[in-house]
A and B are shown apart, each in its own frame.
Chain A
Amino acid sequence: GNSVTQMEGPVTLSEEAFLTINCTYTATGYPSLFWYVQYPGEGLQLLLKATKADDKGSNKGFEATYRKETTSFHLEKGSVQVSDSAVYFCALSRSGTASKLTFGTGTRLQVTL
């Protein structure tokens, strides 16, 4: 079946540091890949997505590239801010639709001044 593995947290960085959160997946066919973020006290929000191999999703300075050869979708940001502190979830679905999502365990990011 489908599964998503992401690096365990928490990840603690200083403001303006470079961020990478690793995510790899197992799936049949050609899934769509997502990063969701949950800020403190809020619900899950879609951060970015990619629907086919070599696509790059980007939003708010975050980027992730769909790498089929390594079955990965690592999240990166060049310079994090305190306001980026949140829990980040990697997820996949079987198609480009908002169908059933398979999530990773989430990675908590704490950014300090």
Chain B
Amino acid sequence: EAGVTQFPSHSVIEKGQTVTLRCDPISGHDNLYWYRRVMGKEIKFLLHFVKESKQDESGMPNNRFLAERTGGTYSTLKVQPAELEDSGVYFCASSPLQSRNTEAFFGQGTRLTVV
């Protein structure tokens, strides 16, 4: 069974450009999370989807970030326009919709560099 897949693995863009990150969760996982690790600091929560609905988007830094999960399958995270401080590693995780003791499975991350 395929794990959580993220694309691209690396992206280098100029300040002001747009970048779209994609996450394919494990098939059948209704929970999907986005996290970000900036400059060797802690990994911070961005948002949580349950199927196609945003359950919690309290970690989204500002309105330059737009996450979607049309159809409740894969998700995209678009940054427009990108700023230097958006550089970091963006992780996606998924888990089944169960009530207890459920592990979240993480992808390899997308390393975004804004220059």
Known contacts A104-B42, A105-B41, A106-B42; A98/B108 CB under 8 A = no
Which of B62-70, B75-83, B98-106 interfaces with chain A? B98-106
B42 close to A46 (CB less than 8 A)? no
Q: Does A96 touch B at the CB level, under 8 Å?
A: yes
Q: Which residue of B lies closest to A8 (CB)?
A: B40
Query: Majority SS of interface residues in chain B?
Result: loop
B108 CB contacts on chain A under 8 angstroms? 41-43
**Complex-state Cα separation, A90 to B37, whole angstroms:** 14
Chain B residues bordering chain A, tally (CB within 8 A): 29
Count contacts between A and B, CB distance < 8 Å. 61
Residue in A43, A45, A51, A89 whose CB lies within 8 Å of B101: A51
Q: Does B87 touch A at the CB level, under 8 Å?
A: no
B43 CB contacts on chain A under 8 angstroms? 44, 89, 91, 101, 103, 106
A96 close to B103 (CB less than 8 A)? no
**Complex-state Cα separation, A103 to B42, whole angstroms:** 6
Task: Determine how close the nearest CB of chain A comes to the CB of B31; give it in whole angstroms.
Answer: 6
Binding site for B on A (CB under 8 A): 4, 36, 41-46, 49, 51, 89, 91, 95-106
